[in-house]
Every structure is written in C-alpha cells, then in structure tokens.
Amino acid sequence: MLGATALVLALEGSDTSPERATQPAAPSPSRGTTGAPTTVVQVPSSLISTSADPEDARALVREAVANVRALERFRFEMDVRGPDVSSHRATGEVDLSTGPGDPPRVRMVLYLQSPDGSTVTFERVAIGQETYAKLPGQDRFEVGEAATGGATADPVTPLLDSLAKLGREALGTPSRPDANGIRTVRVVAGGDGGGPEAVYVLRIDDEQHLVREIRFTTGGATSVIRLTDFGDPSIVIEAPHV
C-alpha cells in the first residue's frame, strides 16, 4: 500500500499551472467528495457576464474564469491518466474567498491505486491556512501543517487564474458551439523555459460563459477536470472533527 508520505506528496506536489507546465501529480476526481449526488443548479444570471466576444479567445477565457470566481462555489471531478504515470482520481468542492474574513475553503478526496491493485483514499480539508487530513485506514481527520507561501489545496482555481493571464499568442481561435452549446479553446503554454510544453483545451459554455471542462496534456499524462454545480448553496465546507 502507498505510504502516507507518498500520498501527501502526490497531493501537494502537483502544479498544473501553464507557467510551470510540469507533469501533474494531482488526483483525479469522481463524483462529489462527499459521495452525495449532485443536482442541477440554476446559475444566477445577475452574477455572471456574457458580454465578451465569443470569437475573441482572450476575452472569452478571461470572462469565463471571472464568472467561475463570481459564483464562488463549485464542485470538480479530475482524472489523470498516462502510460508513464499511475492513474489518479479525485473529487472536490471549492468555496472561494470573498474577503479577509472569509478564507477560501476546499474539500477533496484523492483516490490512488496501490501496488497490489487496491484503491486507497486520502481526504483533505483546507480552510485558509488551516489544513486537515485523513490518511488511508484512519477513521478521523488530523490537523495538518499550516499552508505557507500561498500554498493551496485547490487544484482548479490557480490553474484557471493562470490560463486567464495568458497572452493572445497562446490561445487558439474558439470553435463554433457544438450541439451541447460548448465552445472549445486550445491553449499551448510552456516549452520555452526547459520544461515540457503543455496543451490545454478549455470547454466553455456558450450561453453562460463558464468553464465547464479543462483537458490538458503534459509530461506524458492527460488530465481532465470537470466543473459543475456553480454557486450551489449546499456546498458548505467546515473544519472536521479531529
């Protein structure tokens, strides 16, 4: 079975940002960290903007990321696969900060395959700089080390923010909407600083200008992150009992 150290490194050592473009060691999500079925959440139109020209990749990506932030809460599912890496799965919920008195909150479950073929889980909750972890075989959370230097347990929002900062030269022309009303934008980043080139494909809702999926390939691994339940008030992340 994978040791606790390996699990922590797998979770905290991931860096999916376009600036770094290194192989992600992050998990991949399944359905909600709590295992509860997700429901369709009506996105309040008053909280999002759809003014960006959908054929202007930079404007569309920036607005789609800003809309995710404006809705504050979302769930994510993540899958990482590749011939040179072990497959990971993760599910999570994010509640973004709205100011100094409201720290960002993340709850995530990481599923890893152990050498004997069984699946082990590692759970983590982070509220601001406070972190809590439940390792495989444990029945309760333990207080973890305080996050420092801007560290975050949220593998999604920093990636979105990094993509929104890219220049036009990194972004391809948005596609026409498909049958499901989704536009795709191809992004190529990295490769010029000694690290591997990373190729990202964003799937953006043409009606609401929200990022629905991020797919990226780097270092021999392909990762897919799906975002759902934007603004869902049922996402409530509290410090677990320790």
For 3-23, write each residue's pLDDT tens digit: 333 333 334 444 445 554 433
**The predicted structure's pLDDT at residue 115:** 73
**The predicted structure's pLDDT at residue 38:** 43
Q: How far apart are CA 169 and CA 26, in angstroms?
A: 27
Three-state SS at 95: strand
Per-residue pLDDT averaged across 55-63, rounded? 97
Amino acid at 128: G
Q: Are 66 and 220 in contact (CB under 8 A)?
A: no
Res. 219: pLDDT tops 90: no
Q: Which residue stretches of 36-156 are H helix?
A: 57-71
Tell me the CATH number for domain 4-33+50-228. 2.50.20.20
Residue 116: pLDDT band with limits 50, 70, 90: confident
Chain-wide mean pLDDT for the chain?
A: 81
**The predicted structure's pLDDT at residue 119:** 86
DSSP lists the bridge partners of residue 222 as 81, 217
Q: How far apart are CA 46 and CA 185, in angstroms?
A: 25
Res. 80: pLDDT tops 50: yes
Task: Give the neighbor-by-neighbor strand order of the sheet with 221-228.
Answer: 142-143, 130-134, 119-127, 105-113, 88-95, 73-81, 221-228, 211-218, 197-205, 182-190
**The predicted structure's pLDDT at residue 153:** 73
Q: Which two tokens stand for residue 187?
A: 């992004």
**The predicted structure's pLDDT at residue 229:** 96
Q: Where are the domains of the chain?
A: 4-33+50-228
Q: How far apart are CA 230 and CA 90, in angstroms?
A: 18
Res. 31: pLDDT tops 90: no
Q: Between these two residues, 221 and 91, which has the higher pLDDT value? A: 91
Half-sphere exposure of 128 (CA within 13 A, CB side): 8
pLDDT (tens digit per residue) in 125-182:
999 889 999 988 888 999 987 655 545 578 899 999 999 999 999 999 999 999 999 9
Q: Are 242 and 143 in contact (CB under 8 A)?
A: yes
Burial of 103 (0-12, 13-18, 19+ CB in 10 A): middle
Three-state SS at 8: helix
Residue 109's nearest CA partner among 130, 127, 126 is 126
User: pTM of the entire structure?
Assistant: 0.79
Residue 208's nearest CA partner among 67, 66, 9 is 67
